[in-house]
Amino acid sequence: MSTVSDIHEIKRRLQRMKPAEVNEVKDFVEFLSQKGSPGTSEKKIAKLKGIWKGLGFEKLDLEKDIKAMRKEFDEGILRRSER
């Protein structure tokens, strides 16, 4: 628990700091206040469903492409084993 004298000491030191340092202290105090009180910083959930819609990915046939790649790999292995 902070006492009145602690607060006065902090104020006195802040008055001696450069503006950039004061901003840094301000950011740190904001961080501490958010950290200490759960629920104050609301988490936003990004919904990603449909973000690729209409960009041409619907036309992909992954099963067909995978089968073609497997066939190509199998043929390559068979060719190597025949040598």
pLDDT tens digit sequence for 30-50: 888 887 666 555 678 889 888
pTM value?
0.40
Average pLDDT value for the chain? 85
The 3-state DSSP class for residue 50 equals: coil
Q: Is the pLDDT of residue 14 over 60?
A: yes
Q: How many residues does the chain have?
A: 83
35, 43 Cβ separation under 8 angstroms: no
pLDDT tens digit sequence for 54-65: 888 778 888 999
Q: Is the pLDDT of residue 20 over 70?
A: yes
